[in-house]
Structure 1
Amino acid sequence: MTEASTAKIPDVITYDPEAARRALPFDPFDPDFHADPFPYHRKTREESGRAFRTPGGIVAVYGYEEAAAVMKDPRFGWGVNPMVADQFVENPASGESGRILMFMDPPDHTRIRGLVSKAFTPKMIADLRPKAARYAEELLDRALVESPDGRVDLQQVLSRPLPAGVLSDMMDIPEHYHPLFFANTMESGRGLDPGFTLTDEQKTGRNGARDVFINAGIEMVAARREAPGDDLISELARAEQEGDRLSEWELAMLLMNLLAAGFGATAALIGNQVYNLLSHPAQFAWLRANPDRVPAAVEELLRYDSTLAMVTRTALEDADVAGIPVRAGEYVTVMMAAANRDPAAFDDPERLDITREQTRNLGFGHGIHFCVAAPIARLIGQEALAALIRRDVRLDESRRVERWPGISLRVIGELPVVLGPVGDADPV
C-alpha cells in the first residue's frame, strides 16, 4: 500500500449545517428531500443547469453525460484531504488506518481491484443464481407461514435476509454474525455522507458500526488462513498477481467493504425497486405477464431511483467540468440520482417504464469505481423480483413506508406489504 493509504487519520471535516447547505446543491437536513428528492433535482437542473458551482464552492453535476465524464476521468479521484480522511477505517487492534476499496485511487485501487477480479469469476457468480432463486422462494414461503394474513415488512422478510443468505453461501459467513451485520448496516451506510452533515454522535455510531464489520473481517481472515475452504474469502486470500497478494489488513478492509455493501446496499436496492414497482401497479402487472423482462426491469428501476444517489470526487489536478474550471484539490459532487433522470439522456425520464429499451444508468457508478460486486447485486435483485411477481403483492396502505435519512444512499427502513401465495393474483 502507498503512504497515502496507510497514513494516520488527519483532521476531519466537522459537523456544520450551514456550511453543508452552502456546499451542497440541496438541503441535506430536509425530511421532504429525503422522502422524495427528485422534484428538487428537476427544479435545480432547470434553474441552475447541468453543472454549476454551489455557494460553498463545490461543483455539482446534474447531467448524465457530464456525470459519466467526471466518473471516468482520471483527473478526478479521492486524493488526500479531510473529506476522504473522514472515511478512513482503523484497525481496532493495531491502530493502523487505511481506505477501503471504494475510496482508493490508483495505483492502490488498480492493484486491489486486480486481485479482487481474480476471485470474482463468472462461474462463481453463475453458480449463485439458482441458490438466490431458491432462497427468495423459501423466504417468501416462510413469511406467509409466520404471518398468515400476508402483512409483512418486506425489508425484514426478503430484502435483508436474501443478500445475507447469498453472501453467506458465497463467503461462508457464520450465522452468528448476521444479527450484528443487520444491526449496523444503517449506521455504516449513513457514514458515506459528507462529514459536515454528520454530528459527532452520528460519526461515533458510524465508526462503531464499521468496527463491527472490520472485526468480523479480521476474524474471518484469520479463520480462513488457518483452514482454507472453497469460498470467496479463501479465494481472495489465495488470489495472486505477479507475486503480489492481499495483506491481512487489506483483506480485512476489503471484506468490510463487501459485507457492508452486501448486507446494506443490496438490501436497499431490493427495497427501492419493489417499492417503486408496487407504486406503479400497471407496471407490476405487465412484468407478471412478461417475466423474461425482469433483468431489464431491474435496470430501469435502478435508473428511476438510484440506490447510490451521489458521490464526491476531488480534482487531482487542474481540470474542468462542463466548461467550469476546477482547481486541484477542489470537490465535485456527482448527483447520480439526478443524472439518471436527465431529459437529455432519457425520453420522459420522470416516468417509470420497465418496457424502456434504454437500460443504461449510473446506479452502480461508472469508470474505475464501477461497483465490483454489481453482477452479484444485479443477480440478487433479479431473483427477488422474479419470486415476487409470481405472487400477489401490494403495498400495505394501512402502514407507512419508512425511509432512512441518508443522502448518499437511498434506503427504505420498513416496507409494509400484503403478500399472497404463489399464483394468488388477479388475472392480467
Structure 2
Amino acid sequence: MTVDYDPRDPQIRNNPFPSFRRLQDEDPVHWNPHLRAWVITRYADVRKVALNRRMSPDRLTPFYDSLPEARRGVVGELIRYLNLWMVFRDPPEHTRLRRLMNEAFTPRAVERLRPNVERIVGRLLDDLLPRGEMDLVRDFAYPLPATVIMDMLGVPHDQLDRFKDWSDDMALFLGSARDVPDKYERARRGALEMSSYFREVIADRRRRPGEDVLSALIAAGTPDERLTGDELIAAAMLFLFAGHETTTNLISNGIYSMRMHADAWARLVADPSPGLLATAVEECLRYDGPSGGIARVVRVTHEMEGRELKEGDRVFAMLNAANRDPRVFEAPDDFIIDRSPNRHLTFGQGIHFCLGAPLARLEAEIACREIARRIPDLTLGTTAPDWHDSLIMRGITSLPVHFRPGKSVAA
C-alpha cells in the first residue's frame, strides 16, 4: 500500500514522525506526487544521499531553467546571489568557497566567541525575567544567534528587525514553503534589500578594515583566489541567514522538547554541568532538530533500494526522519538527555557538513544552561505550537512561555 505523505497537511507538518516511520517501513525511497520528488527517510539512505557525488546540491539552476520567462524576471536577482552560496555548489567551486570562509568557524575561533555569547544571553535574560512571560522564539531564540552573527560581521544591532524581515522572506523560498502564493516575490525583495545593505557595508570595510569577519573575508586567500564583490555579498547573506536560522530553531525546538519531557528538564535543572549540557544539546539536535531535510538533484541516473532515480529528478533526504530511525537509534521516539552514542545527521555529512555547527552547539549549550539555571520553572503555554511550512528547516513559529518574575533565581 502506498503511503500518502503530504507535507502540506498541517497535522503532518506539526508532527511528521508517524508518517516518516511508515515510509521507513513500507516505502523508504518514496516517489511523492505532491512534491514531484523522491523522499528518502532511512538513516543509511539519507547518509548515502548526503555523500553521493551522483547528486548535486544545485537545485537552483534546474529550478530557474524550468520557469516561464515572466517568472524568471521575478527570481533572477534572488538566484544570482543564492547560486554563490557554497551550500548550493559542487566542487571545485564549493572547495574554494569553503576554504576561504572556514577560518571564522574553526573550533578555536568559535571558542573565542564564548564571552560575547555569555554576555548576550545574560543581557537578554536580564531584560526578560521581570516580565514573567515571553515568546521564546521571538524574544530569545532569534535575537541571541542573530546578535552574535551581527557582531561577527560588524553590523549594528539596530538592524536586527530588518534582518529578521529579510531572512523570513528568503526562508519562504529556501525552505520550500508550500502554501505561500507570493513566496517568490517576497524572497526576491528580501534578497535585494539584504544584498544592497551588504554592498554598502563591504565598500566601507574595503576603505576601513576592522576586526570583523567581513574584513577578514575581503583579505582572505591569495590575490588570484579572493572572493569577488558578489561572492562577498553572498557570503555575508549566507552567514546572516544560516547563522541564525539553525540556532534559533535548535534552541526553541530543544527547550520545547525538554519541557515536554519533565524528567529530562528536571535533570538539566539539577545538573547543568558541561557533560550533561553537551549530551542534552546533541539529543535536541537528534530528537526534533533544526533541520528538516536536504535537497538534491540527480546528476547521473542510478538505483537506490530498487528504485530508479533518473537524471534531473529532485530528492528530499529527510534528516529528521533519519534521526528517528529505529534501525540506528534505540527508543528513537524517546528524549534521552544523556544518550550516547548519538550519531545524528542534523548537520549533514561529508563536504557539506554544516560550517557553523561548532557555533550552533556553543550558543545552544550556553542558552540551555542559563535558562535552566535562571528560569527552572519555565512553563509552556497551553496551546500546541505551529511549525514553519518548510521541508528544509524545522522550527516553531512561536513559543509562549511563562515563569515566576524576578531578576535571577540564582542570585
> TM-score scaled by structure 1?
0.85
Which of 44, 48, 51 is equivalent to 1:65? 44
Conserved? CA contact 2:283–2:337, under 8 Å: yes
Say if 1:417 and 1:199 are closer, same or farther in 2 by CA, change over 3 A.
closer
1:275-306 CA-to-partner distances (Å, cap 9, x unmatched) read 11111111011112232211111111111112
**Partner of residue 376, structure 1:** 359
Conserved? CA contact 1:390–1:422, under 8 Å: no
1:83 maps to a residue whose letter is F
The equivalences for 1:180-199 within 5 A come to: 180-194=162-176, 197=178, 199=180
**Partner of residue 271, structure 1:** 252
How far apart, CA to CA, are the structure 2 residues paired with 1:118 and 1:423? 37
Which of 402, 409, 415 is equivalent to 2:399? 415
CA RMSD of aligned residues (A): 2.7
How far apart, CA to CA, are the structure 2 residues paired with 1:84 and 1:309? 23
1:47 maps to a residue whose letter is E
**Partner of residue 86, structure 2:** 101
The equivalences for 1:126-141 within 5 A come to: 126-141=111-126
1:380 shift after superposition: 0.9
How far apart, CA to CA, are the structure 1 residues paired with 2:99 and 2:226? 10
Which of 137, 142, 158 is equivalent to 1:160? 142
**Partner of residue 18, structure 1:** none
2:188 maps to a residue whose letter is N
How far apart, CA to CA, are the structure 2 residues paired with 1:212 and 1:181? 9
1:123-174 CA-to-partner distances (Å, cap 9, x unmatched) read 32111112212211221111023x1xx1111122210111122112222112
Indicate whether 1:33 and 2:12 are aligned: yes
Conserved? CA contact 1:304–1:352, under 8 Å: yes
Conserved? CA contact 1:346–1:358, under 8 Å: no
Indicate whether 1:254 and 2:239 are aligned: no
Identity %: 31
How far apart, CA to CA, are the structure 2 residues paired with 1:417 and 1:221? 39
Conserved? CA contact 1:78–1:84, under 8 Å: no
**Partner of residue 401, structure 1:** 385
Aligned residues: 396
1:58-106 CA-to-partner distances (Å, cap 9, x unmatched) read 33211111111110121211357433768997558xx788332211111
1:241 shift after superposition: 4.7
Which of 90, 109, 117 is equivalent to 1:124? 109
2:155 maps to a residue whose letter is I
Say if 1:359 and 1:213 are closer, same or farther in 2 by CA, change over 3 A.
farther
How far apart, CA to CA, are the structure 2 residues paired with 1:361 and 1:273? 15
Q: Could you tell which deviates more after superposition, 75-84 or 220-229?
A: 75-84
**Partner of residue 218, structure 1:** 199
> SS of the residue aligned with 2:200?
helix
**Partner of residue 354, structure 1:** 337
Conserved? CA contact 1:393–1:417, under 8 Å: no
How far apart, CA to CA, are the structure 2 residues paired with 1:402 and 1:350? 20
Q: Could you tell which deviates more after superposition, 336-345 or 254-263?
A: 254-263
**Partner of residue 7, structure 1:** none
1:250 maps to a residue whose letter is E
Q: Could you tell which deviates more after superposition, 277-286 or 176-185?
A: 176-185
2:156 maps to a residue whose letter is P
How far apart, CA to CA, are the structure 2 residues paired with 1:178 and 1:136? 16
**Partner of residue 294, structure 1:** 277
**Partner of residue 151, structure 1:** 133
How far apart, CA to CA, are the structure 1 residues paired with 2:223 and 2:81? 26
Say if 1:175 and 1:422 are closer, same or farther in 2 by CA, change over 3 A.
closer
How far apart, CA to CA, are the structure 2 residues paired with 1:348 and 1:309? 20
1:63 maps to a residue whose letter is R
> SS of the residue aligned with 1:311?
strand
How far apart, CA to CA, are the structure 2 residues paired with 1:307 and 1:199? 21
1:182 shift after superposition: 1.6
> TM-score scaled by structure 2?
0.88
How far apart, CA to CA, are the structure 1 residues paired with 2:11 and 2:82? 37
How far apart, CA to CA, are the structure 2 residues paired with 1:152 and 1:96? 35
Indicate whether 1:387 and 2:379 are aligned: no
Say if 1:84 and 1:390 are closer, same or farther in 2 by CA, change over 3 A.
farther
**Partner of residue 77, structure 1:** 56
Conserved? CA contact 2:20–2:321, under 8 Å: yes
Say if 1:97 and 1:337 are closer, same or farther in 2 by CA, change over 3 A.
closer
**Partner of residue 304, structure 1:** 287
